[in-house]
Amino acid sequence: MNCPHDESVMISLELNEVEIDYCTKCSGIWLDSGELELILGESEAMRKFLASLSVSGSPGEKKLKCPICDKPMDKVICDDEGKVIVDRCPKGDGLWFDKGELLDVVEAGNLAGSAETIELIRDMLKDSLER
């Protein structure tokens, strides 16, 4: 699979026993549909979060193409203030997180079932985040 951002070939990483696609060039992460729930666990917060995602109307940002179906992805707002925005395939293939956004989303939505999960994600992304 290629990065929707810079076309680099993404590598597979394991996070909480789930295989995710990671771009070593821009540190972005692709999660197939359902993988966010697998990594973080089903919870009331997760259900609410997924239901609350709304497509952003702001025309500013260039749309990225879904790495699976090549359709332009929607920008979806993940928090109340509209600061955390991720890309979502309009057909539901999955979600794209730019560098550091996965952690922003987890924190904004209060999605981690436990502090360990946050630590796990942070550890895995540490190298890229420190760069």
The answer to the question of residue 120 lying near Zn ion (CB under 5 A) is no
Q: Which is nearer to Zn ion, 3 or 86 (CB)?
A: 3
Q: Which is nearer to Zn ion, 6 or 123 (CB)?
A: 6
Candidate list 47, 48, 83, 91; residue touching Zn ion; CB under 5 A: 91
Neighbours of 12 (CB within 10 A): 9
Determine the Cα–Cα distance for residues 39 and 61; give it in Å rounded to an integer: 28
Nearest C-alpha neighbor of 69 from the set 96, 41, 99, 45: 96
End-to-end CA distance of the chain: 24
Neighbours of 47 (CB within 10 A): 11
Candidate list 89, 102, 105, 121; residue touching Zn ion; CB under 5 A: 89
The answer to the question of residue 63 lying near Zn ion (CB under 5 A) is no
Q: Which residues bind Zn ion (CB under 5 A)?
A: 3, 5-6, 8, 23, 25-26, 28, 66, 68-69, 89, 91, 93
